[in-house]
Amino acid sequence: MAKPSPRRVISFFSLAAVLSVAISGAEARWYGGPGQYSPVSSIVSEQLYSSLFLHKDDAACPAKGFYTYASFIRATARFPRFGATGCVDTRKREVAAFLAQISHETTGGWATAPDGPYAWGLCYKEEISPKSSYCDATDKQWPCYPGKSYHGRGPIQLSWNFNYGPAGQALDFDGLRNPEVVANCSDIAFQTALWFWMTPRETKPSCHQVMVGEYRPSPADAAGNRMAGFGLVTNIVNGGLECNRTGDERVNNRIGFYRRYCQVLGVDGGPNLDCEHQQPY
């Protein structure tokens, strides 16, 4: 992705003012509607969210105004186990991991960016100049619709017809005929990211299972050195391009975001942060 031109500079580590992320019941936002309270709002307040994604609404970011806190919280309310499984540290670690992955997928930052490279998450809402339509014509269960492109969209950059189809089925939109909705509706965009996060595949655990301690390596996983940790989440998201290679900058960028968010939330990141020695799925 091309880097945007900076439009303003804000003190990055003014984050100290919002390090206390637990908010009282009176301050919690009930964005999900009646009966849909999200426990994630007790980990990431609206003020903290704005601090983490310092430049997401800059004029230089194509996703300006798209990734609102309200949309994020409403989406989490649809997945009640996200950020709500395990002890407080486990919950914080999962949220940090999710935010790190979507930050890398949508970053507009670069090494010398104002406020550092990890202040530019959620800058993009879809892939710029996709090299293909991401149509797997061999998939007969989720056939591509003529003229449609299944390139990366939304916080997790949902890609391929075999992801758009089941995501739409689970979330009540037509992912094959109307994939554009993922880049046009912020609620659906966040929901697709959380759907991907929470859903295991035939040979892959879900990112959620990995981060909350529910992952149990199969013999094939053990042979492939696929051990639990943030690195395994990266393997699930994009292991075919990034794992089992030395010093991949994309992996390092994901880790940089994760370490930053863990620090802000006051939790350690745990073991196995990279996937350098893991076989991809």
User: What are the pLDDT digits (tens) for 46-72?
Assistant: 999 999 999 999 999 999 999 999 999
Active-site residue identified among 46, 94, 105, 126:
105
Measured CA to CA, the distance from residue 224 to residue 222 in angstroms comes to: 5
Q: Are 7 and 58 in contact (CB under 8 A)?
A: yes
pLDDT at residue number 38: 83
Q: Are 134 and 150 in contact (CB under 8 A)?
A: yes
Measured CA to CA, the distance from residue 170 to residue 252 in angstroms comes to: 32
CATH code at 126-185: 3.30.20.10
Q: Could you tell me the pTM of the whole model? A: 0.88
pLDDT at residue number 250: 98
Q: Are 54 and 13 in contact (CB under 8 A)?
A: no
Q: How many CA atoms lie within 13 A of 271 on its CB side?
A: 4
pLDDT at residue number 67: 98
Which residues of the chain, if any, have pLDDT below 50? Answer: 1-35
pLDDT at residue number 40: 97
pLDDT at residue number 37: 67
pLDDT at residue number 52: 98
- Domain limits, the chain: 11-124+200-281, 126-185
Measured CA to CA, the distance from residue 176 to residue 131 in angstroms comes to: 19
Helix 88-106 to helix 230-242 angle (10° resolution) is 20
214 is catalytic: no
pLDDT at residue number 30: 38
Measured CA to CA, the distance from residue 118 to residue 255 in angstroms comes to: 10
Rounded percentage of the chain residues whose pLDDT exceeds 90: 86
Closest CA to 63 of 100, 28, 103: 103
Long-range contacts of 214-218 (CB under 8 A, 24+ apart): 214/85
- The domain 11-124+200-281 is classified under which CATH number: 1.10.1370.40, 1.10.260.40, 1.10.530.10, 3.30.9.90? 1.10.530.10
Measured CA to CA, the distance from residue 71 to residue 192 in angstroms comes to: 12
